[in-house]
Amino acid sequence: MGIGGSTEAVLAAAAMKILGGQLLARFKPKKDEDIPKIKKAGVTDLKKIFTADDLARGQELTFTATGVVDGPILQGVVFRHKTIITHSLVIRGLSGTIRYITTHHHFYK
């Protein structure tokens, strides 16, 4: 259970759907002034509970993430002499392919 914005919900829903999981979300505006914006975006029922299928439609989905700090899935950014190393994850919905990518970004001054 957590809190976040609608953008974060869509990103998480895509990953959950591809991996066979589920996500449930609903709008909880911080301020009453946010309600007209939400309704203008097409949401008429603020009590509706959205599923991963609602938030991430179709099967041609891709989820990509790069670790910033160390976490349970990805290592964070590593700074070395003249090199920065990043760790990314790419998941493809149609095939279920999961790729872990380690990239060495070299720079010289």
pLDDT digits (tens, 9 = 90+) for 2-23: 677 778 889 999 999 999 999 9
Q: What is the pTM of this model?
A: 0.77
72 and 101 share one domain: yes
Chain centroid to CA 4: how far? 11
pLDDT tens by residue, 68-98: 999 999 999 999 999 999 999 999 999 989 9
Question: How big, in percent rounded to 5, are the helix, strand and coil portions of the chain?
Answer: 25, 30, 50
70 and 93 share one domain: yes
pLDDT tens by residue, 47-64: 999 999 999 999 899 999
78 and 47 share one domain: no
68 and 39 share one domain: no
Answer whether residue 73 is part of any domain: yes
11 and 42 share one domain: yes
Which structural domain, as residue segments, surrounds residue 79? 62-106
Number of domains in the chain: 2
Answer whether residue 1 is part of any domain: no
Instruction: Show Cβ contacts of residue 90 under 8 Å, excluding neighbours closer than 6 positions.
Output: 62, 63, 64, 98, 99, 101
